[in-house]
């Protein structure tokens, strides 16, 4: 049995990760302030501490629990919120991350696995699909702050030999996302159509994204625990999809014709985002397995059952 701490473990990715780790026989500790996550997502077998990584001293948890691995998922994840309030994003995604990282090093955690972002870090890339060595030029405070914490991880590894792996996620979606306060486009569309509402589309829908299902992402996180790799790895589906394709898949599955309310494109969101995930295959022995159609079906079914 391995003792593992997850920050943000009440969110939709973190709680799904906690479920899988417990199924595998590990002991799981969750730290979450429940700002966007839900307490009822937390597995009953997990030990839960309601703490804020920005405001609270985490040392007592680390000293008592002595985790061997830390998955750092707690974050401010809304690009629009970051544009409106960059100070808040800095506090959570940089200062909160440093609070976690200091304790990881102080209490001799074997490894920290960080959940970063692919599209927001690279910005409007000229190379599509975008590899890890592409120059990172973020277009939003969210991407800037994620990249900043990636560099702190490099610093702690170079100076203090702290082991880490950073996973740069594409657009993660799946069950629990919308109710977890993390409003990705797939989750929003599924919720809106389940309530017979118009779908709100930012821009004309031709913008592309790399949609990767949450169960695939969790497999990548778990694989990252045991690999000897200190650096960044893209985690995506290897398929570039238009946002308006999501509407078509939902319409096909639900046999509904959706009314679409178009809105202006959001500042700070790029037109194309598609990751080269070949390194994940090499290092993590990982590739996405769930198709977008299958993932949307599962997400919509969960939304109907939990609306």
- Domain assignment present for 178: no
302 and 232 inside one domain: no
Nearest-CA neighbor of 117 among 100, 136, 97, 92? Answer: 136
Active site residues: 142
Q: Are 149 and 90 in contact (CB under 8 A)?
A: no
Residue pointed to by tokens 């026989």: 25
109 and 189 inside one domain: no
Whether residue 129 has a cis bond before it, omega within 30° of 0: yes
Q: What is the mean pLDDT of residues 182-194?
A: 84
pLDDT > 50? residue 180: no
Q: What is the mean pLDDT of residues 60-87?
A: 91
Overall domain count for the chain: 2
98 and 139 inside one domain: yes
C-alpha to C-alpha distance for 301 and 305, rounded to whole angstroms? 6
CA 91 to chain centre: 18
- CATH of residue 263's domain is 3.90.25.10
Task: Convert the pLDDT of each residue in 105-129 to its tens digit.
Answer: 999 999 999 999 998 899 889 999 9
Residue 258 domain boundaries:
185-208+240-273+293-306
**Element (DSSP H or E) covering residue 4:** strand 3-7
161 and 301 inside one domain: no
Q: Are 10 and 41 in contact (CB under 8 A)?
A: yes
- Domain assignment present for 164: yes
Overall pTM surpassing 0.85 (yes/no): yes
C-alpha to C-alpha distance for 162 and 110, rounded to whole angstroms? 8
In this prediction, residue 268 has a pLDDT band, given cuts at 50, 70 and 90, of low
C-alpha to C-alpha distance for 130 and 1, rounded to whole angstroms? 37
- Domain assignment present for 180: no
47 and 156 inside one domain: yes
pLDDT > 80? residue 164: yes
Residues whose CB falls within 8 Å of the CB of residue 301, separated by 6 or more in sequence, listed in order: none
Angle at alpha carbon of residue 6, lines to 188 and 269, rounded to 5° = 35
- DSSP-derived 3-state class of residue 288: coil
């Amino acid at each position: 049995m391995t003792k593992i701490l997850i920050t943000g473990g009440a969110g939709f990715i973190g709680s799904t990760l906690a479920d899988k780790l417990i199924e595998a026989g590990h002991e799981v500790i969750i730290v979450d302030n429940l700002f966007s996550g839900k307490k009822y997502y937390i597995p009953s077998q997990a030990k839960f501490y309601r703490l804020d990584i920005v405001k609270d001293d985490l040392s007592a948890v680390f000293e008592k629990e002595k985790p061997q691995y830390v998955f750092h998922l707690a974050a401010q994840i809304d690009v629009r919120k970051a544009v409106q309030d960059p100070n808040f994003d800095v506090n959570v995604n940089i200062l909160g991350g440093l609070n976690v990282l200091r304790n990881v090093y102080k209490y001799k955690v074997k490894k920290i696995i960080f959940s970063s972002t692919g599209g927001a870090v690279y910005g409007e890339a000229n190379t599509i699909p975008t590899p890890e060595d592409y120059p990172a030029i973020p277009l939003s405070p969210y991407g800037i702050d994620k990249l900043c914490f990636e560099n702190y991880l490099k610093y702690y590894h170079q100076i203090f030999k702290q082991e880490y792996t950073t996973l740069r996620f594409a657009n993660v979606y799946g069950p629990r996302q919308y109710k977890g306060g993390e409003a990705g486009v797939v989750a929003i569309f599924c919720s809106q159509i389940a309530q017979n509402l118009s779908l709100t589309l930012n821009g004309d829908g031709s913008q592309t994204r790399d949609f990767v299902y949450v169960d695939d992402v969790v497999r990548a996180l778990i694989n990252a625990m045991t690999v000897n790799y200190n650096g960044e790895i893209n985690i995506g589906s290897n398929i570039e999809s238009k946002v308006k394709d999501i509407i078509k898949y939902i319409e096909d599955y639900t046999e509904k014709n959706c009314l679409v309310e178009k809105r202006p494109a959001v500042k700070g969101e790029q037109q194309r985002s598609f990751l080269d995930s070949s390194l994940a295959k090499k290092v993590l022995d990982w590739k996405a397995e769930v198709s977008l159609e299958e993932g949307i079906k599962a997400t919509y079914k969960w939304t109907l059952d939990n609306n």
